[in-house]
Structure 1
Amino acid sequence: MSAPSSSAPRLAFVAAATPVARAARVALEKRYGGVKPAQADIIVALGGDGLMLQALHHNIRRGTPIFGMNLGTVGFLLNQYRAGGLLARLKAARQVSLTPLRMVATTTRSQRHEVIAINEVSLLRSSRQTARIAVSVDGQMRLPDLHCDGALVATPAGSTAYNLSAHGPIIPLAAGLLALTPINAFRPRRWRGALLPHHSKVEFTVLDPRKRPVAAAADSVEVANVVKVAVTEANDIQLTLLFDPEHDLEERILKEQFAP
């Protein structure tokens, strides 16, 4: 990889495993130069939303701004791909700050796992039987016995992903809220979830973990056979995404609420 000029930001290009994304990375590095992500001022992610989440996770401790260009399918978290004018686009880009979630999961073997989630923390049943989960918020029991396929807590950025598929609400970025959403709730039948202040602590307790095992996932990291899962905002972590002015993430989330 060649080095960028002294007047330009140092760019690191990361790409999905698809041939088109890899070819784009080679071409962009040749055109703009490239460094390793640890040395970059800006990371340019080439792929789909999955690649963007992966890049964000790899960059959690560094906090380097990430500008994504869509070479995947949906590309909700990415800008349009254009090879030309990249430096000008980066200079004009708008910053969006995201605060992820922290999941602390305890298993039936008393093992403790701490994982960061950018989109959501979800619990899912691991057997043919419905899960039975108690839900408390800030130490107050809200649902003593939820019969369901699972439940999730989603950030505003993640509210248009799995949360929306589970019929949860879309949350604007500046709303200061989290979505608590059941997945196929059987009892209580009429409970459709809740909107919570972003500083809330949500605790899930699996009521019958031997007979009705449950797995917990923070984005793509799964922990099997959990008995307790606590979810809070990871306030010590701030992630920065860069967007073209015409592709602002806040506007995209608002538009999703009016999609036919």
Structure 2
Amino acid sequence: MNYYIYEHENDVRNSELKQQIHQKLYHIVTEPTQADLIIVLGGDGTMLDAIHELHSYNIPFFGVNCGTLGFLLNAIRSPEEIPHHLEELEYITEPLLQATVTTKDDRVSTIQAINDFVIAKLDRKEWISMKLSKGDKEKAIQGSGLLITSAIGSTGTWANERGLMLPTGNNLIGIMGLSTGPFSTLVTKHDKDISISLESRRPIHLDIDTNRMTVENIKKVDIGLSPKTYQLAFLSKAGTSHFHNKRLELFTKKMAQDF
């Protein structure tokens, strides 16, 4: 089996394990197109960067935790624990977030994200009137904006804002209000798209994956899940339980509100 290694060169965490993997792992290739498995060395942030850059190759990601929490990674101590056959692994398949965006001049575009979308204005002191609807359910709120996250993205900005980390494999979408008064968060299963209508005196924009891309002057966003997916790989001996159960435990301690 061929391996492609993804890491941040300036990340010195657990450098001894990284060095051992480079020295002892056979069949390391220099191009992801030649790989059967992408080995990600680092923390959750490194894994998210790897997914951003390489998910279009449709090759599973196997993370080696060289960081702290490691929600997206495997806890291994030596190169010998890295699998030699894809059949030794269990997989979590995750879809990308998808937004269909309508601007004030009625241009429509469809955009995917790995982590999250943020609806906001340059001056966050000014409120936006927002109407969220899903099927026959609606919520009208006012505030500085919204943070919309995937399960994978909930380890990042969402968690930093004290959102509950979402368990994977459930097609969940999280929506968090930014300075929205009594409205805090909701977590909903994607069985229908969520439509968000926006009104404000000044332009509103949509940030994709922490400013990797921005759409200006928007008036409506329809949020759903893309048919495009990627896979995270985990050791079968541990199963996906380590990753999934940590999230599920945190999530079920205080279930977030749905529509």
TM superposition score category, shorter chain reference: 0.7 to 0.9
1:59 aligns with 54
Deviation at 1:18, TM superposition (A): 1.6
Is the deviation greater in 148-157 or in 130-139? 130-139
Partner of 1:50: 45
TM-score (structure 2 length as normaliser): 0.78
Aligned to 1:230: 222
After TM superposition, list the pairs within 5 Å mapping 1:184-199 onto structure 2.
184-186=179-181, 189=182, 191-199=183-191
Q: Partner of 2:209 in structure 1?
A: 219
Cα distance 1:148–1:89, how it changes in 2: closer, same or farther (>3 A)? farther
Match of 1:31 in 2: 24
Tell me the amino acid that sits aligned with residue 215 of structure 1. Answer: H
CA contact (8 A) 1:65 1:242 kept: yes
Q: Select 1:100's aligned residue among 96, 99, 120.
A: 96
Displacement of 1:194: 2.8
Between the aligned partners of 2:105 and 2:21, the Cα distance in structure 1 is 48
Relative to structure 1, is the Cα distance of residues 66 and 238 closer, same or farther in structure 2, using a 3 angstrom cutoff?
same
RMSD over aligned CA atoms reads 3.2
Residue in 2 that maps onto 1:6: none
Do 1:131 and 1:214's aligned partners in 2 also have CA atoms closer than 8 Å? Answer: no
1:14 to partner: Cα distance: 0.9
What corresponds to 2:234 in structure 1?
243
Contact 1:96/1:249 (8 A) holds in 2: no
Q: State percent identity of aligned pairs.
A: 22
**Judging changes above 3 Å, is the alpha-carbon distance between structure 1 residues 20 and 161 closer, same or farther for their aligned structure 2 residues?**
closer
2-structure distance, mates of 1:232, 1:64:
23
Partner SS for 1:100: strand
Other structure's SS at 1:248 match: helix
Equivalent residue letter for 1:50: G
Count of residue pairs brought into register by the alignment: 245
Distance 1:87 1:141, change over 3 A: closer
Partner letter of residue 173 of structure 1?
T
State the alpha-carbon separation in 1 of the partners of residues 82 and 76 from structure 2.
13
Cα pair 2:196 2:221 within 8 Å, conserved: yes
Cα distance change, pair 70–217 in 1 and its aligned pair in 2 (3 A): farther
Deviation at 1:167, TM superposition (A): 4.5
Q: Does structure 1 residue 17 correspond to structure 2 residue 5?
A: no
Cα distance in structure 2, aligned partners of 1:96 and 1:166: 25
1:118-129 equivalences in 2 (<5 Å): 118-129=114-125
Contact kept? 1:65, 1:239, Cα under 8 Å: yes
Report which stretch shifted further, 85-94 or 121-130.
85-94
Alpha-carbon distance in structure 2 between the residues aligned to 1:62 and 1:133 = 40
* Aligned-partner Cα distance in 1 for 2:245–2:137: 36
Q: Secondary structure at the match of 1:72?
A: coil
Aligned to 2:193: 201
Shift of 1:65: 0.5
Query: Does the CA-based 8 Å contact 1:70-1:81 persist in structure 2?
Result: yes
